[in-house]
Amino acid sequence: KAGVTQTPRYLIKTRGQQVTLSCSPISGHRSVSWYQQTPGQGLQFLFEYFSETQRNKGNFPGRFSGRQFSNSRSEMNVSTLELGDSALYLCASSLGLAGLQETQYFGPGTRLLVL
């Protein structure tokens, strides 16, 4: 079974631009969670989608948004990029809701650099 895939793997953007990241979960998994990973902050939870609905959201500004499609694939969008948005963005999938103690399977991440 194929693992979690994320595209693109690397991105360079400038301040003020917007970016869309994509995540394809493991086949059969219905939940996709997004995390921001930075050296100082560790993994910060962004949001979780299950059956095309956002089930939970972390403490990030409204510039961060996402959606999930009927095939469980998910996209994350960041508008009006700031230098502080430079990070590794991880996607994780699980059979059910991650917050109900499901094991998460992580993708390789998208490394975003904002100049």
CB closer to other proteins out of 60 and 106: 106
Three-state DSSP at 85 gives: helix
Q: How far is the CB of 92 from other proteins (least distance, A)?
A: 8
Per CB under 8 A, residues contacting other proteins are 3-4, 33, 35, 40-43, 45, 48, 55-56, 58, 90, 92, 97-101, 103-109
CB closer to other proteins out of 25 and 109: 109
CB closer to other proteins out of 95 and 97: 97
Name residue 74's amino acid: S
Q: Residue 70: CA atoms inside 13 Å, Cβ hemisphere, count?
A: 0
55 burial type by CB count under 10 A (0-12 exposed, 13-18 middle, 19+ buried) = middle
**What is the number of residues in the chain?**
115
CB closer to other proteins out of 73 and 111: 111
Q: How far is the CB of 90 from other proteins (least distance, A)?
A: 7
CB 86 within 8 A of CB 114: yes
Q: How far is the CB of 16 from other proteins (least distance, A)?
A: 30
